[in-house]
Structure 1
């Protein structure tokens, strides 16, 4: 289960609202100056890039790109939006409003007061933006499709702590919700920590870019169940994914492509989990250290996602559970866009490993016999003890 995209009819574009891509940078500079004057009553106006980034969590370069990306679908619709003073909202205004809503985590009323508009307008503009990002930005969230790309990913993962032929790290996080008492389906969303939540499962590359996203499932499900309901599981089990070149460890011993995950996931030929138990022998203990260092990239990616796009950071007040998966997906796409744009704003972020405070890791006892043998051989190989 995940974000479900409905069929959309293409509408005729109002040529008066279309901006030429080459004019976005200049147009944004003029817009920012006017915007600072407009919000002077809310914050101290400033023309500095630092102030821009603190407001929207992206640089002007990335903001310009996002505007060019969503321009056509956002401006093609007949509905127009306005501030309380009657002034029509430009594309920049709408993108700024949506980014502020997604990145600040402020309430609809809080964002409305900041921009001088109504909370209904904030809701409608944000949703239009989410739809536009999903429609035009999905190419930023794709499984690697070329041999060169997958080779680079494997090389970077191996450079972390030596795990060869690794293609990704998998992890999950909970998007917490405060549901209405009258909601008859409340218990379906109650997770093991007695929070109402929706699960987000991601596979991350070594640059903390999301390569696969599954969301929409209720917190009652454990990580293994969410995985088994995903298309990734079906395709990997059928040999349609993680089916690239095997790595020859020694004569007669090959290692297929795989991803790494913690003990909440099953041990499978294409998903390697750590050894469980205390007082492990040195070979297995060392393997676990390497494994942890490698999969921490997924922890960091989810922590950054929630730190930057704070609408999914805390407890969401009575969200539309049908729309929430698409809001989460939009945040994941924006996360990737910031990475793809090599945005300098990333340099200012303090990265943490915490994205699910209070949640302890689950333990899945499911283990494929062949996968267990492969993990043992990999551990011996890494320790230099696997005989040729």
Structure 2
């Protein structure tokens, strides 16, 4: 056992030495800047190398031959530039940057010219290294001082990289968060709620010295974010945030046909394009509607909000970024990255789906207006639409699952 530990430690030491050797600048035409992933492996492994010994050597020969071990990375996920390939070693990128290695390489290629700007930190000349600093800030929520120590740069350089990444994504890639065209097909994930486009809820972030913030999130059945409105005080009611958002003004255009709508918790007002649960669900149809509504909320927008909170920056003190605009930019940046990762089937930050049988009564905060009392006199039309929808839902459930509540 001691020999195995010594071998593991030696392997780790050799790995670190080779990484440092290959990451030193070269005066040839092929410099270290052309292949920054080896250097990044050093940055990301330095804080976990002491705990990695058991992962370098399998515990028994039988496990060594088992190529489909659940702990193995997916085929193609390893970084080709890694000096030593250890199949069972944890994915450093996923741990330190919140994305898989292949996604990091894709992002580095996509953002390369945009992360190389005049006046950028000369300590990190490679765009991929600047990307790593920015992603590490988002994924871990580490202070700029901690990032500086981790990446061996100044705190000013770490702050510059983090802010540049946010600016680039929010300016050049905001189209990643958008409603599909009204003519696009509705998701099969909403098959029990015909006409549903998505679900809306408010996320509440505890951000230390910044006092917290709220963001309104709309997500579809695949947890893709369709719309986000950030920058609101944490204690502001959901219904107030809704009325102040562009979603409230543009709902008619975004929904498409009149029979399309969103679903939201009972803290929201009932409107023709926003279906909320019945407060009185004693009858069969309202009960069926509420059951389906509750499960859809849990499996879509509430799961999406939980996934956003997996980004460490959204639960950190955000030292040096107390400006509400910076907080809103962090939320928007994480939303864009969330959708980018989903498009690549990279589920690094996606919260696991709740069980199919989950029956959670918490559909969000209860601080807004009651769903039975919508403002503006929309109650009769909206209530009639919801009654008709509840009857449809009950019919669908009865036909497909005769013995099920929903």
Q: Which residue is 2:391 aligned to?
A: 380
Q: Distance in 1 between matches of 2:196 and 2:216?
A: 18
Aligned-residue CA RMSD in angstroms? 2.8
Matched with 2:42 is 37
How far the C-alpha of 1:111 sits from its partner, in A, is: 1.6
Alignment match, 1:287: 289
CA distance in 1, matches of 2:173, 2:143: 25
Number of positions where the alignment pairs a residue of Structure 1 with one of Structure 2: 315
Shift of 1:314: 4.2
2:231/2:328 contact within 8 Å kept:
yes
Q: Distance in 2 between matches of 1:306 and 1:139?
A: 21
Cα shift at 1:290: 0.6
Q: Displacement, 1:281?
A: 2.2
Matched position secondary structure for 2:173 = helix
Match of 1:243 among 256, 272, 277: 256
Asked if the contact 1:62–1:338 (Cα under 8 Å) also holds between the matched residues in 2, the reply is yes
Residue 220 of structure 1: how far off its partner (Å): 3.9
> Are the counterparts in 1 of residues 178 and 226 from structure 2 also a CA contact under 8 Å?
yes
Q: Write out aligned runs for 1:1-388 (5 A).
A: 30-38=35-43, 41-44=46-49, 48=89, 50-75=91-116, 77-83=117-123, 88-145=124-181, 147=183, 150-153=184-187, 155-158=188-191, 162-179=192-209, 196-236=211-251, 239-244=252-257, 256-277=259-280, 280-296=282-298, 297-307=300-310, 309-317=311-319, 319-343=322-346, 345=348, 350=352, 360-365=365-370, 366-367=373-374, 368-384=379-395
TM-score between both structures, scaled by the size of structure 2: 0.71
Displacement of 1:198 = 1.6
Which runs of at least 4 in structure 1 moved beyond 6 Å after TM superposition? Answer: none
- 1:303/1:352 contact within 8 Å kept: no
Q: 1:131 to 1:98 in 2, by over 3 A?
A: same
Gaps of 5+ in 2: 1-31, 53-83, 356-361, 397-406
* Higher RCO, 1 vs 2 (CA within 8 Å, ≥6 residues apart): 1
The aligned residue for residue 183 of structure 1 is none
Contact 1:265-1:363 at 8 Å conserved across structures: yes
Q: Decide whether the 8 Å contact of 1:70 with 1:136 is kept in 2.
A: no
Whether the 8 Å contact between 1:284 and 1:379 is mirrored in structure 2 is: yes
User: Separation in 1 of the partners of 2:130 and 2:312?
Assistant: 18
Larger strand share, 1 or 2: 1
**Shift in CA distance, 306/344, structure 1 to aligned 2, threshold 3 Å:** closer
Distance in 2 (CA, whole Å) between partners of 1:292 and 1:40 is 42
Structure label with greater radius of gyration: 2
User: Taking structure 1 as reference, are residues 116 and 200 closer, same or farther at Cα in structure 2, changes over 3 Å only?
Assistant: same
Query: What is the rounded CA distance, in whole Å, between the counterparts of 1:219 and 1:80 in structure 2?
Result: 34
Quick check: 1:259–1:272 contact (8 Å CA) kept in 2?
Answer: yes
In structure 2, distance between residues paired with 1:371 and 1:350: 34
CA contact (8 A) 1:98 1:122 kept: yes
Structure 2 distance, partners of 1:119, 1:53, is 23
Distance 2:103 2:125 in 1: 20
User: Could you tell me how far 1:142 is from its partner in structure 2?
Assistant: 1.3
Q: Structure 2: how far apart are the matches of 1:113 and 1:206?
A: 41
Question: Which residue number corresponds to residue 13 of structure 1?
Answer: none
User: Structure 1 regions of 5+ residues with no counterpart?
Assistant: 1-26, 181-195, 247-255
Q: CA deviation at 1:313?
A: 2.4
TM superposition score normalised by structure 1: 0.74
Q: How far is 1:289 from its partner?
A: 0.5
Q: 2:182 touches 2:254 (CA, 8 Å); kept in 1?
A: no
Q: 1:42 to 1:294 in 2, by over 3 A?
A: closer
Q: 1:263, 1:109 → 2: CA distance? A: 43
8 A contact 1:303–1:351 mirrored in 2: no
